[in-house]
Structure 1
Amino acid sequence: MGTVSLRLNDKDDILIRKYAELHNMDLSTFIRQAVIEKIEDEYDLSLFDKVWEEEQDEERISHEELKKELGL
């Protein structure tokens, strides 16, 4: 298992520790979860951007038009 060292000023250190404590998490778990969520968010956004670009030239219909086509 790897170890990461993180340097923080006193204000940030207190903020992060208090937040983790407030959510009943140990510091290591909180930081690991926050970093993984950040990576997942950026990946999701890049995937969205890719799909958005690919779909720009596709024909679209409104929600109302789709309901008419489906007989709803």
Structure 2
Amino acid sequence: MATMTIRMDDRDAELVRRFASFEGITLSDFARNAILEKIEDAHDLQELRDAMAEDDGQRFTIQEILDELG
């Protein structure tokens, strides 16, 4: 397992410690979750941009979809 170091000023560090404690999770779990969520958000945003670029403008009503599904 890798170890990473994050540098921040004392005020921010205390805020992070308190928040993790309030959430009932370790500092490591909080940092890991926050980092992975940020990566997932960036991935989701890219997926949205890709979908918008490929959008041909065609839309379907709920009824059309239900009829198609049978």
TM value normalised by structure 2 = 0.82
Once the 2 structures are TM-superposed, how far is the Cα of residue 59 of structure 1 from its aligned partner?
2.2
Describe the SS at the equivalent of 2:38.
helix
Q: Mark the runs of 5 or more structure 2 residues left unpaired by the alignment.
A: none
Name 2:43's counterpart in structure 1.
Answer: 43
Q: Tell whether 2:42 aligns with 1:34.
A: no
Following the alignment from structure 1 to structure 2, what is the Cα–Cα distance between the partners of residues 7 and 59? 49
Once the 2 structures are TM-superposed, how far is the Cα of residue 52 of structure 1 from its aligned partner?
1.1
Residues 30-58 of structure 1, C-alpha deviation per residue, up to 9 Å, x if partnerless?
Answer: 00000000100110011011011101x23
Describe the SS at the equivalent of 2:5.
coil
Root mean square deviation, CA, Å:
1.4
Name 1:59's counterpart in structure 2.
Answer: 58
Following the alignment from structure 1 to structure 2, what is the Cα–Cα distance between the partners of residues 34 and 47? 20
Name 1:5's counterpart in structure 2.
Answer: 5
Describe the SS at the equivalent of 2:41.
helix
Q: Mark the runs of 5 or more structure 1 residues left unpaired by the alignment.
A: none
Name 2:25's counterpart in structure 1.
Answer: 25
Describe the SS at the equivalent of 1:7.
coil
